[in-house]
Chain A
Amino acid sequence: MAGSRRKGPYSKFPATAHASLSGLTWPGLATQHGSHLLTLLYQLEQSQWWSPEQLRLHQFSQLAQVVQHALNTVPYYRKHRQAWGIDANWKLTPESFTASVPILTRAEVQEGGAEFHSNKVPESHGKIGDTFTSGSTGRPLRTLKTGLAEMIWQALTLREILWHRDFRLKLAIITMDEDKQGAYPDGAQYRDWGNFAAQTFETGPSCVLHVSTKIHEQVEWLLRMEPDYLFTRAGNAQALAQHCLREQIKFPTLRQFITFSDLLRPEARAVCKEAWSVPVVDIYSSAEVGYIALQCPESEYYHIQSESVYVEVLNEAGQTCAPGEVGQVIVTPLHNFAMPLLRYTSGDLAEVGECACGRGLPALRRIIGRTRSALALPNGEHVFPKLQDLLIDLPMVRQFQIRRRERESLDVKLVVARELTESEAALLQGELERRFHYPFGIVISYHDELTRSKSGKFHDFKDDYKEANGNGG
């Protein structure tokens, strides 16, 4: 039943392609770049309904290309291929890939630097650009990306929009604005959704505000802008929702929140629904990899973007997780020939799911915390605290932030609907002891708003003690 699982229209929202030719408005013929994006979208529309086997088959035809390219042109892989037992007779299969190629950590990529750069990127893949990501450890990682990888990113951005939104409506973005045009009180206002989206489809207007704007000013700006959609970091969305809940502020036109970058915790989803009765749509991506999974248009599951990345979710024994199991997310981007990363882990954990929507793209039920910020315990052990569902039994807590400043204690900053009772505080302490594997003392303090980094990123846990002392023990 290949390719025939879909029934009826492709999209909830009809989108009209942008026409860049005079005398032509429908069907549109976009610029060459826009046509490339539509060509990719045409395929993405179909492949999402393929069976998992069919997706895997096509995915491996592309994976073979990037693996071959990496083994031949990237110094790091050339150096190791022999030790990994990859010779002329090696055949790429899901099993041989997992067995032969070891997992690559962020730290290894940082150390390797230019060792990961291909010395022969096909010219047809376009210009090579770079991005820096700070990550929660604060050590920046430089990633090279080809024009082609960027184009795939853009096509998936459009897929995400088509899955969830009507291009004709108004979009507000509160993010890092590198052009610094988005300063309060005006922000920046645009006729369309910008750049490649507007080159491809007819869109409504958009407006941008810098994420460093104070929360109450963001709220004031949003009331003035009256957007249909708001795109911002999960931490910022949560802070906005808390503020609005407290002040009883509603945005009458707002239909949806879109969050990215920070981890979206269940309580963030809940508080947005409570404050404005609007759904939250979350995006799971990383700067070095691109999109990993996008929220299903019909559920809160995330669909792995198999057309652009090969994802393994492995348990501690290194075996593929079954639905319901939590494991480490290991990704291989399929199209970045400038800096191929094979079986890369950014430290995220995810729970494998099964979505009932009919798409063949594999599903994740939830993304659970970065394990990037490991904690060194006084006894010398390292733990990766799992904090995703910390607040499940504490509904009065809207948001938390944990800092370790002392060897034996944690500062727990809370935004709450009401303060915790003694027994609730004890419950929280017990939960933290279980998750950190250590009986830290806790100091609870209450706040209206929690601090965010300059880029607007929200860190729920930071080990300041380790950073100051070099180790945690």
Chain B
Amino acid sequence: MADRRPPQVRSALAGMAWPGLPARHATYSLALLYQLEHSQWLPAEDILSLQFRQINLILRHAFETVPYYRAQRDEWGIDLDHAITPEEYCQQVPILTRAEVQQLGDDLLSTDIPQSHGKSGSVFTSGSTGMPIKVIKTELTETFWNAFTVRDHLWHRDPNLKLASIRPLPDNEAVYPEGKSFENWGGMAGLAFANGPSTLLNIGTRIQDQVKWLQRIDPDYLLTYPGNIQAIAIHCERNKIRFSRLKQVHTISDLLRPEVRKICREVLDVPVVDVYSGAEVGYIALQYPESENLHIQSESVFVEVLDENGNVCRPGEVGEVVITPLHNLAMPLLRY
């Protein structure tokens, strides 16, 4: 990430230009970001031990306040009097499937969410099976989500530059030809950092119009869905169109296929940076700043990748991803 201007923290205080002290909510994100900057360099065993400090808290909370887990506690042989080890955790707690989450419904909700975790809200996710599930999340999980969003930006992007997003929006919002313009990148990135402008377009726009819009907007970064950028790149290939300033495509949501990376590199001459996240669990992995590998976001989730026999996969092996989000006390999902 050479030749970058350093991100400048936005200050909300009169007379305070540098260092910045931003609005209260952004302060929490930056407090987390400070820790993320350090924890990314920690040795694996230190990360595991810190993860299990947190998992032990969420376990206690789940077995004391969530009906489903309370009912299973004796059967699973969970002893809350001593700290559970990673091995015990993976042996004693069975894997929780999406179908089970759907069936269990409110039995997975905590009856006693700490007030300090803020308000709870629900999100619906349809998933690829079309079976929608309802997930309840706290404001605290939102704060974590924001911090990881900023981490992803800082790993890959210069926040002083121009960002364009093409994403699903209600029909009449940010429509072609204008789209919508903003002074900054919005969200926590906008609150925490003094950054460059951004523009937004409805993904419902026809591909040839999206391309015209992009030529006019001339962004440094484009955030969109993998399928959408693939269609844009194909259109550009046929019509010999290049975006002069574009430095990177950032894909979210759907699975990113290798051919999308390939066509972006070949036609648009830019790399694709992907994120792996889920509405029910938050960020799972972010692309490494220096390669196309993804880094598990261990400060937010405990991830196991298991083969068909339930054993941990080695590098090079493919397995099922089992996730324990560390901070959602409204609806703890253990080994999901």
Contacts and interface: CB of A to CB of B under 8 A. Distances in A.
A26 B15 contact: no
Given A21-B117, A47-B6, A61-B18, A26 B51 contact: yes
A30 B38 CA distance: 16
Contact of A29 (B6, B38, B143): B143
A1 interface: yes
A4 B155 CA distance: 12
Interface stretch (B22-30, B176-184, B312-320): B22-30
B3 A45 contact: no
A69 interface: yes
A58 B9 CA distance: 11
B203 to A, nearest CB: 33
A50 B35 CA distance: 20
B182 to A, nearest CB: 23
A4 B2 contact: yes
Given A23-B58, A35-B31, A50 B6 contact: yes
Contacts of A41: 34
B38 A11 contact: yes
A34 B57 CA distance: 22
Interface string B115-147: 011000000000000000000000010010000
A62 B18 contact: yes
Contacts, number: 142
Interface string A327-347: 000000011010000000000
Nearest to B110: A23
Interface in B302-336: 326-327, 329
Nearest to A123: B14
Q: Which of B4, B28, B140 has the most CB of A within 10 A?
A: B28
B19 A65 contact: no
Interface in A331-378: 334-335, 337
A315 B105 CA distance: 75
B277 to A, nearest CB: 18
B15 A34 contact: no
A337 B16 CA distance: 10
B99 interface: no
Contacts of A54: 6
Contacts of B42: 14
B50 interface: yes
Given A27-B36, A45-B34, A35 B28 contact: yes
Contacts of A35: 27-28, 30-31
Given A1-B2, A32-B27, A47-B19, A22 B114 contact: yes
B19 A307 contact: yes
Interface in B228-266: none
Given A23-B114, A44-B19, A122-B15, A9 B38 contact: yes
Contacts of B217: none
A14 B46 contact: yes
B21 interface: yes
Q: Which of A1, A26, A38, A125 has the most CB of B within 10 A?
A: A26
Interface string A7-30: 011110011110001111111111
B18 A2 contact: no
Given A4-B2, A21-B140, A69-B15, A42 B37 contact: yes
B35 A27 contact: yes
B176 to A, nearest CB: 37
B54 interface: yes
A50 B19 CA distance: 13
Contact of A124 (B3, B13, B22, B38): B13
A54 B7 CA distance: 12
B31 A39 contact: yes
Nearest to A30: B31
A46 interface: yes
B5 interface: yes
B61 interface: yes
B117 A23 contact: yes
Nearest to B114: A22
B194 to A, nearest CB: 11
Contacts of A40: 19, 21
Nearest to B299: A27
A23 B329 contact: yes
B14 A122 contact: yes
Contacts of A15: 38
Contact of B50 (A16, A45, A334): A16
A26 B299 contact: yes
B31 A34 contact: yes
Contacts of B22: 39
A3 interface: yes
B138 to A, nearest CB: 10
A2 B6 contact: yes
Given A3-B4, A23-B114, A43 B20 contact: yes
A463 to B, nearest CB: 42
Contacts of A335: 16
B141 to A, nearest CB: 11
Contact of A43 (B13, B19, B41): B19
A307 B8 CA distance: 13
B32 interface: yes
B9 to A, nearest CB: 5
A278 interface: no
A66 interface: yes
B18 A32 contact: no
A65 B21 CA distance: 15
A42 B9 CA distance: 10
A34 B15 CA distance: 21
A23 B55 CA distance: 10
A353 B71 CA distance: 67
B34 A38 contact: yes
B48 to A, nearest CB: 11
A24 B61 CA distance: 11
Contact of B35 (A17, A36, A46, A64): A17
A25 B53 contact: yes
A148 interface: yes
B263 to A, nearest CB: 30
B45 to A, nearest CB: 12
A65 B42 CA distance: 39
Q: Which of A34, A35, A122 has the most CB of B within 10 A?
A: A35
Nearest to A37: B31
Closest 3 CB pairs of A and B: A38-B31, A42-B34, A9-B41
15 contacts: A2-B3, A10-B41, A14-B38, A21-B140, A23-B61, A32-B24, A36-B31, A39-B21, A39-B34, A42-B9, A43-B19, A58-B18, A65-B16, A66-B15, A69-B15
Interface of B: 1-6, 8-9, 13-22, 24, 26-28, 30-39, 41-42, 46, 50-51, 53-54, 57-58, 61, 114, 116-117, 140, 143, 299, 326-327, 329
Given A26-B53, A29-B140, A45-B37, 8 more contacts: A2-B6, A21-B114, A29-B28, A38-B34, A39-B9, A65-B17, A125-B16, A307-B19
